[in-house]
């Protein structure tokens, strides 16, 4: 028999609302005591060993004896969109810290916050100038001919381009949730998967760049929120009510919020490249991409490649990432490493912390032994 589908009793409703009210009140008191410094992200100890224009090169303080450190340095390249802190969000959920624990000597490029004056920085500036400069600095600083590269999301796309242009400087290439083929984003019956790429397909990016110069982070965030507007804007905060009484959980939630909404804007030209050349033109896999007047040929990538992807990634669907394999048939050192998690979870998820970094380190040790 059909039953009335909403059975909310007045006494239970009263209790529920009272509970919500109490938790919110407690939460607001707790938040009032929470200073911005308490919500620390990117906190693993490090030195700035080089800085230039908008960016800095970090060298993380090793936690293992120098003699036990892996001989090849690991240079982490974050994306231009969103801050580097996703790799070092909180002490117990830190890719960087895990690498240090594994005995890696870790370097990272923090692209920083570009200003209006940086609006003309394009992909070739980032890849052929800034990245190349960072790689050269690490090689010199560390005294090695080649370095290992570890790319985060779009940073991985930049690492891919770099490795194709400067293969002589890259020992091993590790990519994580990295878009390569931007036209393999659709999954039947799941419109939220690959929504960003779909939206970018017809976007008039020239207009946007002309209007803004520097694309504000808030404009980029709107795009991310569109993937699940209700859940991300309301549902998430409704669920937060339950964690307000646990200070540690609350601070960790705030760390994620700080990273999500505190990211940098993006230079207009780099954004234009991303949308027109990569998303719309799919030039990387078509072999049409040129940076600094040089063609980016994926066949030039001959060093060992570990392609790590998230099976539940809705921002960069696995198809976009795994496409690299089709362009690496010549490369016996190419390997894929799937992890059952989502796009951000691969860096911050508890399960991923136990799987990804140890797996990457094991693979690197095997390669560097050979």
Partner 1 sequence: MDWTDKTNELMNTWQDAQKQFWGPWYDWVQSSMGGSSAMSSFDPTQFLKAGVDTWSGAAGGTAQRLAGNLLGNPEIMARSVNVLMKAWETVAPKVQAGKPWKPDLEGLLGQWQEEMSSLPNRATATAGEFTQLTRSMFEQWTPITAPWLSMVGQAMASGHPGAAFMGGTAGLDRLMGFEEGIHPLMTGLGELPRGTVIRQKMGKLLEAVDSLTDVRASQAEFHKAMAEAMGKAVEQTMEHLAKLAEKGEPITNVRDLLRTWFGVADKTLNQTFTSAEFMEVQDNMTNALMDHKVKQRAALEIIYQAMEIPTRSEVDEAYRDIHALKKEVRILRRQLKELTQDSKPAPARKAPAARRAPAKKAAAAAT
Toward partner 1, which CB reaches closer, 112 or 325?
112
Toward partner 1, which CB reaches closer, 7 or 68?
7
Residue 295 CB, nearest distance to partner 1 (Å)?
16
Toward partner 1, which CB reaches closer, 16 or 248?
16
Residue 52 CB, nearest distance to partner 1 (Å)?
5
From 346, 348, 336, select the one nearest 315 (Cα to Cα): 346
Structure tokens at 8: 């909310």
Q: Interface mask (CB under 8 A) for partner 1, residues 268-297, using x and -?
A: ------------------------xx----
Pick out residues in 20-39 that bind partner 1 (CB under 8 A): 20-21, 24, 27-28, 31-32, 34-36, 39
Q: Interface mask (CB under 8 A) for partner 1, residues 79-118, using x and -?
A: -------------------------------------xx-
Toward partner 1, which CB reaches closer, 1 or 370?
1
Phi/psi at 247 (nearest 5 deg)? -60, -40
Phi/psi at 338 (nearest 5 deg)? -80, 145
Pick out residues in 36-75 that bind partner 1 (CB under 8 A): 36, 39, 47-53
Q: Which helix (H) or strand (E) holds 294?
A: strand 294-295
153, 159, 320, 361: which one is catalytic?
A: 153
Residue 163 CB, nearest distance to partner 1 (Å)?
14
Clarify whether 153 is annotated catalytic.
Answer: yes
CB-CB neighbours of 173 under 10 Å: 27
Residue 191 CB, nearest distance to partner 1 (Å)?
4
Pick out residues in 222-251 that bind partner 1 (CB under 8 A): 222, 225-235, 237-238, 240-241, 244
Pick out residues in 122-161 that bind partner 1 (CB under 8 A): 125, 128-129, 133, 136-137, 139-145
Among 45, 61, 92, 120, contact with partner 1 (rule: CB under 8 A): 120
230 CB burial (10 A radius; 0-12, 13-18, 19+):
exposed
**CA count, 13 A, side-chain hemisphere, 147:** 29
CB-CB neighbours of 10 under 10 Å: 7
Structure tokens at 47: 């030195």
Among 126, 162, 253, 309, contact with partner 1 (rule: CB under 8 A): 253
Q: How far apart are CA 135 and CA 163, in angstroms?
A: 11
Toward partner 1, which CB reaches closer, 28 or 351?
28
Q: How far apart are CA 75 and CA 93, in angstroms?
A: 19
Residue 249 CB, nearest distance to partner 1 (Å)?
12
Write the secondary structure of 226-256 as one string of H (helix), E (strand) and C (coil): CCCHHHHHHHHHHHHHHHCCCHHHHHHHHHH
Q: How far apart are CA 360 and CA 153, in angstroms?
A: 16
| Start-to-end C-alpha separation, the chain | 70
DSSP secondary structure code for residue 364 in this structure:
H
Q: Interface mask (CB under 8 A) for partner 1, residues 188-227, using x and -?
A: ---xx--x--xx--xxx--xx-xxxx--x-xx-xx--xxx
The answer to whether 110 touches 58, Cβ cutoff 8 Å, is yes
Among 101, 257, 336, 368, contact with partner 1 (rule: CB under 8 A): 257
Toward partner 1, which CB reaches closer, 47 or 326?
47
Structure tokens at 130: 């800034």
Residue 45 CB, nearest distance to partner 1 (Å)?
15
Residues taking part in catalysis: 153
């Amino acid at each position: 028999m059909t039953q009335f589908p909403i059975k909310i009793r007045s006494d239970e409703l009263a209790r529920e609302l009272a509970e919500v009210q109490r938790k919110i009140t407690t939460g607001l008191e707790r938040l009032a005591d929470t200073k911005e410094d308490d919500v620390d992200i990117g906190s693993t100890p490090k030195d700035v060993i080089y800085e230039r224009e908008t960016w800095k090169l970090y060298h993380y303080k090793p936690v293992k004896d120098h003699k036990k450190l892996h001989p090849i340095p690991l240079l982490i390249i974050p994306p231009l969109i969103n801050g580097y802190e996703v790799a070092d969000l909180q002490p117990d959920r830190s890719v960087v810290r895990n690498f240090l624990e594994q005995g890696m000597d870790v370097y990272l490029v923090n692209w920083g916050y570009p200003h209006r004056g940086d609006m003309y920085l394009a992909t070739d500036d980032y890849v052929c100038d800034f990245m190349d400069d960072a790689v050269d600095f690490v090689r010199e600083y560390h005294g090695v001919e080649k370095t290992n590269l570890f790319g985060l999301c779009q940073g991985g796309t930049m690492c891919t381009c770099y490795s194709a242009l400067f293969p002589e400087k890259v020992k091993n290439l590790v990519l994580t949730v990295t878009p390569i083929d931007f036209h393999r984003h659709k999954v039947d019956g799941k419109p939220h998967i690959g929504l960003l790429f779909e939206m970018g397909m017809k976007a008039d990016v020239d207009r946007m760049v002309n209007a803004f110069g520097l694309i504000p982070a808030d404009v980029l965030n709107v795009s991310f929120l569109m993937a699940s507007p209700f859940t991300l804007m309301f549902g998430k905060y409704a669920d937060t009510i339950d964690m307000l009484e646990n200070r540690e959980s609350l601070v960790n939630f705030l760390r994620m919020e700080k990273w999500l909404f505190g990211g940098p804007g993006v230079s207009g030209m780099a954004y234009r490249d991303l949308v027109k050349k990569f998303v719309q033109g799919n030039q990387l896999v078509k072999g049409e991409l040129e940076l600094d007047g040089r063609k980016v040929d994926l066949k030039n990538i001959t060093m060992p490649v570990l392609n790590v992807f998230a099976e539940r990634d809705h921002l960069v669907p696995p198809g976009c990432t795994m496409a690299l394999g089709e362009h690496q048939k010549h490369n016996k050192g190419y390997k894929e490493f799937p992890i059952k998690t989502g796009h951000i979870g691969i860096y911050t998820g508890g399960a991923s912390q136990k799987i990804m970094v140890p797996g990457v380190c094991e693979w690197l040790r095997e390669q560097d032994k050979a």
